Amino acid sequence: MNKLQNSTTLMSHPLCPHNQRAVITLMKKGLQRDQDFAVDYVDLANLPERLFRVSPKGQMPVLIIDDQPVSTDAMRIAEYLNEEIAQPNLYPVKPLAKLAHREFLAKADAALNLMRDVYTAKTSDALDEATEKYFAGLKEIQGSTPAAIFENASREFSLADAAWGGFFSLAFYFDNFRRLAAWENAPKLHAYGKKLYADETVQNSRCPNYNAEFTHFFGIFDSEFPRRFST
């Protein structure tokens, strides 16, 4: 039975996709949240002192091992957790395939930056601009990604999938946004996203009260997004 050698806590705000990546990684290893590892969710609108004690600049997520902060780098956290629990290995064994998946993982971070701008746009014009850049960026990501990443549907779940699982948890949550015709500009990425969004582990890795957390998040940023897409 898989087990972490030390007490492990992940700290971040509830909608943090980088933190969700780490949770997915551990759950794909067969571990259970609140039983084998802890997740400490903090309020993005009122960051608590306990966050700054382990992350002085407020960077998230924070990996805490035996009550000591270890890293705030999402990539390194996921890779550490993959190595800490050896099986199943969530990286391809062959170096070239591993490199391709690592590159694809990094592209999820670029997509998340585009998604952030969409979700935090405060005016209709700003939302139009952010949405246009978002879909143009996704088209570029698909075009620069090796076809095998999308075509080999039978491959094992990877750390890249965990990263993109966090992205698509956000990107596909609102039906009106998920159904935009602009998704047709990146059909392979769209199909890949639908598969990840339906993955049971990805679904279960989300924070509790996901919908309420979105409402809170949009309120913090006075976002235009829900006025257009969540009604």
pLDDT in tens, 24-36: 999 999 999 999 9
Contact 157, 28 (CB under 8 A): yes
User: What is the average pLDDT value for the chain, to the nearest integer?
Assistant: 94
The pTM (predicted TM-score) of the whole model is: 0.94
- Residue-wise pLDDT for 141-167, tens only, equals 999 998 888 876 567 899 999 999 999
Lowest mean pLDDT among 6-15, 45-54, 123-132, 142-151: 142-151
Per-residue pLDDT, 93: 85
Compute the average pLDDT of residues 128-141: 98
- The answer, yes or no, to whether residue 110 has pLDDT greater than 80, is yes
CB proximity list for 106: less than 8 A, separation 6 or greater: 75
Per-residue pLDDT, 149: 86
- Residue-wise pLDDT for 54-75, tens only, equals 999 999 999 999 999 999 999 9
Per-residue pLDDT, 181: 96
Per-residue pLDDT, 154: 60
